[in-house]
């Protein structure tokens, strides 16, 4: 086997292609069919009282940001819930399918969006870009489909599901 | 889009502690959806077997009982343990799945009451017949540095077994493409995740990236990253990101950690796996350690 070992130094300007990442995987209807194929869905939205909110927060340890919860009753039993979570960098809508007894059947990400509101904190690093880029605002670049790199934690989704299970106990379970 | 693969289905689920995305292309939507299900099933299985957090996983069982009695594990777990030992040997101990005590100390992993010998290493792990794992000393293993890549490979197998000819499995940045078409992969910039550091075209190839990205914590007044040199327990400092492209995602995943520790000294190992590596440094410099070629026919590489 021939072994090559070459270094190619890239100019600093090579590092400044601005981008943001957004993708829609599923609409609500598609997510419903993905989790509960062939079933029908009846909208059953829930508005939480402040007491319910507190109980959910205490039970799950997760803050409730919205009083409205988008819920559908699934034909033949079960629940479909559309929910959203906001992380430091990401805004995600996802669907959780719960079985009739309230256990998680399936989670599907519907929309994934990464947004970065803050300034780049490292001034030294930033200096390299001065004069080399138009400091373009975030734009959704549809060409970016596959990203290698940081393993983003899905902790916010995990927390969101915890909150939904507490919500089920309070608002859906009979 | 080519006529033989006119439909693309893309799904994403939270698994392996990250977002796992599976893309499949073809012309039969139902076949694609079924194949993607199979891919997620494989990843869920790896998740169950190799989670450090799940007390019922093979990893937790090994950490509890492989010393002193030995534990029978799933063939997949056995396979990953075997590969881990091999990578530890080939990398002179820089890749070592027994570094978990350090990570636990730095709160990257949940604290446990496991006992461990501070000098224990992969050399103290023995693979016996009938998928039995035995630890010669008290130690803790964490497959976080390799299981994700393995999961991607198993998902690709499952997709192919389900008749999918073209697609991508991307587990939070560790990914593998398969099929005749090359795929454009963007590399997230470690220091400024809003930007991409570059792009590479991959065909029938996996790519994994390890880096000090958002995950930095202070330990005794110093920032530490989750990447460690298995020999010393020191976290890598100057390098902030290493990407490795290889035929299989498990090798790519493991090699990123080796390159982090050994840099140029790992060139022989890269050659052995016919892998390429891209290194990004804190000062903004980037360099390729280059062996075999990615699909660079259109000259996209990192530009």
Task: Give the domain CATH number at B118.
Answer: 1.10.3980.10
The predicted pLDDT at position B28 comes to 94
List of chain A residues whose C-beta atoms are within 8 Å of the C-beta of residue B274: 1
Q: Are strands A147-148 and B183-188 parallel, antiparallel or unpaired?
A: parallel
Q: What is the per-residue DSSP string for A148-172?
A: ES-----HHHHHHHHHHHHHIIIII
**Residue (of B272, B273, B303, B271) closest to B290 by Cα position:** B271
Q: What mean pLDDT is predicted for residues A48-59? A: 94
pLDDT of residue B194: 58
pLDDT, residue B47, reads: 93
Asked if A74 contacts A56 with a C-beta cutoff of 8 angstroms, the reply is no
pLDDT, one tens digit per residue, over A54-84 is 999 999 999 998 999 999 999 999 999 999 9
Q: Does B17 touch chain A (CB under 8 A)?
A: yes
| Mean pLDDT within A30-43 | 96
Residues of B in contact with A104 (CB under 8 A): none
- Minimum mean pLDDT among B11-25, B128-142, B149-163, B275-289: which range? B275-289
Domain boundaries, chain A: 18-116+147-172
Return d(Cα B115, Cα A146) in angstroms, integer. 41
Do residues B188 and B279 both lie within one domain?
Answer: yes
Q: pLDDT of B134-155, one tens digit each?
A: 999 888 898 988 999 999 999 9
Q: What does the pLDDT look like over B98-110, one tens digit per residue?
A: 865 565 555 555 5
Domain that holds residue B89: 58-141
Q: What domain count does chain B have?
A: 2
Calculate the average pLDDT of chain A: 75
Q: Does a structural domain hold residue B230?
A: yes
Average pLDDT for B264-280: 86
- Domain contains B6: no
Please determine, for residue A6, whether its predicted confidence score (pLDDT) is greater than 50: no
The verdict on residue B12 lying in a domain is no
* Residue B193: predicted pLDDT: 58
Q: Compute the residue count for chain A.
A: 174
Q: CA of A100, closest CA in chain B: separation in Å?
A: 21
Over residues A118-135, the mean pLDDT reads 33
Q: Which residue in A112, A128, A149 is closest to B284 by CB distance? A: A128
N-to-C CA span, chain A: 67
**B10: in domain:** no
Residue B168 tokens, joined: 């991508």
* pLDDT tens digits, A88-110: 777 899 999 999 999 999 999 99
Assigned domain for B291 exists: yes
Same domain, B238 and B288: yes
Domain presence at residue B207: yes
A residues 64..123 contacting B (CB < 8 A): 88-89, 94, 106-109, 112, 114, 116, 120, 122
pLDDT one-digit tens code per residue, A108-126: 999 988 765 433 333 333 3
Of the two residues B224 and B254, the one the predictor is more confident about is B254
- Close Cβ partners of B6 (under 8 Å, ≥ 6 residues apart): B27
Average pLDDT over residues B81-99: 90
Shortest CA gap B215–chain A (Å): 9
**Do residue B133 and residue B236 come from a single domain?**
no
Distance CA B101, CA B107 (A): 10
Residue B19 inside a domain? The answer is no
Name the pLDDT band for B287 (thresholds 50, 70, 90): low
Interval B254-275 mean pLDDT: 88
Rounded CA gap, A164 and B1, in Å?
40
Q: What is the mean pLDDT of residues B51-62?
A: 91
Residue B246 has pLDDT above 50, yes or no: yes
The least confident of A12-16, A158-162, B112-116 is A12-16
B214–A25 CB contact, under 8 Å: no
Q: What is the pLDDT of residue A126?
A: 34
Q: The domain that contains B256 carries what CATH number?
A: 3.10.520.10
Domain assignment present for B177 = no
Q: What is the pLDDT of residue B41?
A: 97
Sheet with B239-246: strands ordered across: B7-15, B18-26, B166-171, B174-178, B206-211, B239-246, B276-281, B286-289
Asked whether residue B196 carries a pLDDT value surpassing 80, the answer given is no
């Amino acid at each position: 086997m021939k072994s090559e070992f070459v270094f190619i130094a890239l100019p600093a300007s090579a590092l400044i292609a601005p981008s943001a990442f957004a993708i829609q995987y599923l609409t609500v209807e598609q997510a419903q069919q993905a989790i509960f194929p062939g079933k029908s869905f009846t909208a059953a939205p829930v508005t939480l009282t402040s007491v319910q909110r507190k109980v959910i927060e205490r039970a799950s340890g997760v803050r409730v940001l919205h009083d409205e919860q988008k819920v559908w009753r699934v034909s033949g039993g079960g629940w479909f819930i559309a929910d959203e979570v906001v992380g430091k960098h990401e805004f995600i809508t996802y669907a959780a399918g719960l079985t009739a007894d309230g256990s998680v059947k399936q989670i599907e990400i519907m929309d994934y969006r990464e947004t970065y509101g803050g300034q780049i904190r490292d001034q030294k690093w930033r200096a390299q870009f001065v004069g080399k880029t138009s400091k373009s605002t975030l734009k959704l670049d549809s060409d970016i489909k596959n990203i290698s790199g940081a393993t983003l934690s899905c902790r916010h989704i995990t927390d969101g599901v915890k909150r939904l299970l507490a919500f089920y106990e309070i608002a859906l379970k009979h | 889009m080519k006529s033989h693969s006119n439909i693309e289905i893309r799904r994403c689920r939270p698994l392996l502690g990250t977002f796992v995305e599976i893309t499949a292309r073809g012309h039969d939507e139902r076949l694609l959806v079924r194949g993607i299900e199979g891919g997620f099933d494989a990843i869920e299985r790896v998740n169950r077997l190799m989670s450090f957090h799940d007390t019922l996983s093979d990893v937790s069982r090994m950490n509890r009982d492989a010393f002193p009695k030995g534990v029978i594990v799933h063939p997949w777990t056995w396979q990953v343990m075997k590969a881990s030992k091999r990578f530890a040997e080939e990398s002179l101990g820089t890749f070592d799945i027994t570094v978990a005590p350090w990570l636990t100390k730095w709160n990257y992993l949940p604290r446990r009451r496991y006992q461990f010998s501070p000098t224990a290493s992969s050399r103290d792990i023995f693979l016996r017949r009938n998928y039995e794992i035995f630890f010669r000393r008290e130690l803790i293993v964490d497959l976080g540095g390799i299981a994700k890549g393995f999961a991607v490979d198993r998902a690709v197998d499952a997709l192919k077994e389900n008749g999918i000819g073209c697609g991508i499995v991307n587990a939070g940045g560790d990914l593998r493409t398969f099929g005749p078409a090359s795929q454009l992969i963007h590399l997230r910039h470690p220091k400024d995740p809003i930007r991409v550091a570059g792009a590479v075209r991959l065909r029938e190839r996996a790519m994994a990236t390890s880096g000090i990205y958002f995950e930095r914590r202070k330990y005794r007044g110093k920032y530490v990253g989750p990447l460690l040199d298995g020999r010393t327990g020191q976290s890598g400092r100057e390098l902030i990101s290493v990407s490795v492209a290889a035929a299989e995602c498990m090798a790519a995943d493991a090699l990123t950690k080796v390159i982090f520790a050994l840099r140029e000294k790992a060139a022989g190992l890269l050659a052995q796996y016919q892998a390429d590596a891209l290194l990004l440094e804190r000062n903004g410099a980037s360099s390729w350690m280059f062996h075999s070629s990615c699909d660079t026919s259109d000259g996209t590489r990192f530009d």
